[in-house]
C-alpha cells in the first residue's frame, strides 16, 4: 500500500502535464489583446466508414483536432510557424491582424472495399474564396 501513493502522484503529474499546454505555445486565448493572427482550419476529408479526426500541430504544440466536415478558428501569435498533420507540413508567416485559411484531410483514391492502398493526406493553405464556400458547407467545431 505504501507504493500506491508515489505511483498515484506520478500518474497525476503525468495527466496534468498532458492536459496543460507547454509554455511557449503560439496558440493564444480567444480574447487575447496582444498582437495576433487568426487561422481557420477546415477538415475537408471525404466520407469513409470511420469518421477519423484530423490532428494539426503548430511548432510542435497542439493546434486543433477536427471531425470530418467541421472547421475551427484559432488565434495564434504572429511570426513564422510550421503546421503539421501526419507528416504533411505547411509554413505560415503570420502577420499581426492576418487571417489564414488551411484545409486538412484525406481523399482516398479507392473505395473502402477495394484492396488496401494509400490514402493521400494533405495539409495546405486555401484562398479566402474557398474558405467562404466551406463556411457554408460545414459546421463550426465545438
What pTM, to 2 d.p., does this model score? 0.75
pLDDT tens digit string along 98-123? Answer: 999 999 988 766 555 554 555 578 89
Distance of CA 31 to the CA centre of its chain: 19
Instruction: Report the distance separating Cα 109 and Cα 119, nearest Å.
Output: 7
pLDDT at 46: 73
pLDDT at 21: 47
DSSP state of 119: -
Report yes or no: 115 and 135 within 8 Å, Cβ to Cβ.
Answer: no
Report yes or no: 41 and 66 within 8 Å, Cβ to Cβ.
Answer: yes
- What's the mean pLDDT in 1-23? 52
- What's the mean pLDDT in 21-48? 86
Instruction: Report the distance separating Cα 55 and Cα 85, nearest Å.
Output: 6
pLDDT tens digit string along 39-84? Answer: 999 999 876 666 678 899 999 999 999 998 999 999 999 999 999 9
Instruction: Catalogue all structural domains in the chain, each as residue range(s) with its CATH number.
Output: 22-140 (2.60.40)
Q: Which three cell numbers stand for residue 42?
A: 477546415
- What's the mean pLDDT in 120-132? 92
E-assigned strand segments in 30-130: 37-43, 54-58, 61-66, 70-76, 79-85, 88-94, 99-106, 121-125
Amino acid at each position: 500500500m505504501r507504493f500506491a501513493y508515489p505511483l498515484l502522484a506520478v500518474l497525476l503529474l503525468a495527466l496534468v502535464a498532458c492536459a496543460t499546454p507547454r509554455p511557449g505555445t503560439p496558440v493564444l486565448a480567444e480574447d487575447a489583446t496582444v498582437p495576433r493572427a487568426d487561422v481557420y482550419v477546415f477538415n475537408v476529408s471525404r466520407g469513409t466508414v470511420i469518421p477519423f479526426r484530423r490532428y494539426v500541430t503548430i511548432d510542435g504544440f497542439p493546434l486543433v483536432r477536427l471531425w470530418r466536415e467541421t472547421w475551427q478558428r484559432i488565434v495564434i501569435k504572429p511570426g513564422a510557424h510550421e503546421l503539421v498533420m501526419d507528416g504533411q507540413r505547411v509554413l505560415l508567416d503570420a502577420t499581426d491582424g492576418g487571417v489564414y485559411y488551411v484545409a486538412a484531410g484525406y481523399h482516398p483514391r479507392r473505395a473502402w472495399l477495394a484492396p488496401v492502398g494509400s490514402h493521400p493526406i494533405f495539409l495546405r493553405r486555401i484562398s479566402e474564396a474557398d474558405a467562404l464556400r466551406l463556411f457554408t458547407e460545414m459546421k463550426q467545431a465545438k
